[in-house]
Homo-oligomer: A and B are copies of this chain.
Amino acid sequence: MDPQTIGPRQPADAEPPAHTTDTGVTRRVVLAGALAGGVGAVAGFAGGRASAGGGAAPGIGELSYPFRGEHQQGVTTPAQQQMHLTAFDVTARDRDSLIDLLTAWTRAAENLTQGLPVDSMRVSKSAPPDDTGEAFDLPAAGLTITFGFGRTLFRDQQGRDRFGLGDRLPAALAEDIPRMAAEKIDPGRSGGDLVVQACAEDPLVALHAVHNLTRIAFGWATVRWTQLGYGRTSSTGAGQVTPRNLFGFKDGTASLRGNQDELLRDFVWVAEGDGGGAADWMAGGTYLCARKIRMTMEVWDELPLRDQENAVGRDKISGAPLSGGDESSAPDFTARTPGGSPVIPEASHVALMHPTRNAGVQMLRRGYNYTDGSDELGRLDAGLFFIAFVRDPRQHFTPLLARMQFDLLTQYLQHLTNSVFAIPPGLAEGQIYVGQGLFEDPV
């Protein structure tokens, strides 16, 4: 078979399935057509999409989200079941190569998030396939891909400005998160020049995305660290029920929801002028703050229920604050026991972290549980990969983290990694690569 290049196209007699791209084609159809040298073989492959290959259930599997928009996807998108997040260090030496990488990534991401192969499909038996293939039969499965920039992209650990971006470094990204008590940060699994957050309803679809983006990056960037997560730990969708964390408590009750536009504007999206001009390229973007937090479940599990609830400040089953009501009730921090002590202990998680105790600051939390197996002592190596998207980490993240050191819950936690990435705004129509504003002259 001769090499040939074909783009996504509409097979002659196929109905466009719902939720796919304008061209209505899928990975399967594109590839089958490509290998057959035409559309003749398509019929044999069409039909099995949603149920094929062990993907998520049909309804969820068919979901896809637009890649372009005012903001990047994967921030206010209702949290999917699976996360595959990889940080990269750039090995390319110059600005043009970095732009080439971002351009190739953007093109691939735009296809992948619509359930298509990474690229227009060059198919030849004599060449490696463009797409690695493990998601051939799978729909988009709600895949979102979110790109971000670490501080070292602007100025590396030695202070070098490798890509001429030093003067565009947002002040919000310039400062380190201060060292906290009870943390044991692994620098090799923190930070990085670039980040790719892939979330999907199907872990194979998320893996496939990161796998192919990593392959595309060959020669330009190398993987620094990877974290997998599952079972979102906060509800970011309007209708999503608050999930439970690995301590068995509802987590994220007071988290921002993706439809609270006014609060999102105040606490999530960067506005023009936020960075004093130098960082106006970030307008419409946000900052991803991530901490890998191991939870010592073996210790926690043996606490009396009362101690667990006092540490959290909420009822374990209902999620209601200890002052009463239901999950959505406002905590009454003034309530006292007959003995005169606060019904919600002052050092409980809710008392320390509730927005009303933090100048009204609200975080859009979008973390995931992680389970990395068991450790050499047989303990579950598991916990929370905390992610919050904030407008300014200095105001909306670090102060809360500092308060959390005094949290009763903290004695059952260990913070293992610490990362902050600038998430540039979404791509407008006509833009070629994500973060394009960073590389263009200020207006």
Residues of chain A having any CB pair with chain B under 8 Å: 31-32, 35, 44-45, 48, 51-54, 56-57, 59-60, 79, 81, 84, 86, 123-129, 131-137, 202-204, 207, 211, 214-215, 222-228, 230-232, 240-249, 297-298, 301-306, 308-309, 315-318, 326, 369, 371-374, 378-380, 382
Question: Are B54 and A231 closer than 8 Å at their CB atoms?
Answer: yes
Taking a contact as CB atoms closer than 8 A, the residue among B84, B317, B379 that contacts A223 in the complex is B379
Question: Are B305 and A207 closer than 8 Å at their CB atoms?
Answer: no
Question: Are A133 and B244 closer than 8 Å at their CB atoms?
Answer: yes
Question: Are B380 and A136 closer than 8 Å at their CB atoms?
Answer: no
Taking a contact as CB atoms closer than 8 A, the residue among B56, B128, B137, B309 that contacts A305 in the complex is B128
A178 to B374, CA, bound (A): 27
Chain B residues whose CB sits within 8 angstroms of the CB of A31 once the complex forms: 317
Question: Are B223 and A204 closer than 8 Å at their CB atoms?
Answer: no
Question: Are B51 and A241 closer than 8 Å at their CB atoms?
Answer: yes
Question: Are A129 and B223 closer than 8 Å at their CB atoms?
Answer: no
Chain B residues whose CB sits within 8 angstroms of the CB of A225 once the complex forms: 373-374
Taking a contact as CB atoms closer than 8 A, the residue among B127, B137, B246, B316 that contacts A244 in the complex is B137
A81 to B54, CA, bound (A): 7
Complex: chain B residue closest to A34, CB-CB: B317
A222 to B388, CA, bound (A): 35
Chain B residues whose CB sits within 8 angstroms of the CB of A84 once the complex forms: 371
A132 to B244, CA, bound (A): 11
Question: Are B305 and A52 closer than 8 Å at their CB atoms?
Answer: no
Chain B residues whose CB sits within 8 angstroms of the CB of A306 once the complex forms: 125-126
How many copies of this chain does the complex contain?
2
Question: Are B228 and A54 closer than 8 Å at their CB atoms?
Answer: no
Interface pairs (27), CB distance under 8 Å:
A31-B317, A32-B317, A35-B315, A53-B241, A53-B242, A53-B243, A54-B232, A56-B57, A57-B60, A84-B371, A125-B309, A128-B301, A129-B308, A134-B246, A136-B244, A136-B317, A203-B231, A204-B231, A207-B369, A207-B371, A207-B382, A223-B378, A225-B373, A226-B374, A226-B380, A227-B373, A372-B373
Of A86, A215, A317, the most chain B CB neighbours within 10 A belong to: A317
Q: How far is the CB of A230 from chain B (nearest CB, A)?
A: 4
Chain B residues whose CB sits within 8 angstroms of the CB of A128 once the complex forms: 301-305, 308
A372 to B303, CA, bound (A): 31
Chain B residues whose CB sits within 8 angstroms of the CB of A247 once the complex forms: 132-134
Chain B residues whose CB sits within 8 angstroms of the CB of A305 once the complex forms: 123-129
Taking a contact as CB atoms closer than 8 A, the residue among B125, B244, B297, B372 that contacts A53 in the complex is B244
Question: Are B129 and A316 closer than 8 Å at their CB atoms?
Answer: yes
A302 to B241, CA, bound (A): 44
A102 to B43, CA, bound (A): 52
Q: How far is the CB of A280 from chain B (nearest CB, A)?
A: 33
Chain B residues whose CB sits within 8 angstroms of the CB of A373 once the complex forms: 225-228, 372
Complex: chain B residue closest to A202, CB-CB: B231
Chain B residues whose CB sits within 8 angstroms of the CB of A326 once the complex forms: 44
Taking a contact as CB atoms closer than 8 A, the residue among B35, B242, B248, B318 that contacts A134 in the complex is B248
Taking a contact as CB atoms closer than 8 A, the residue among B79, B223, B227 that contacts A54 in the complex is B79
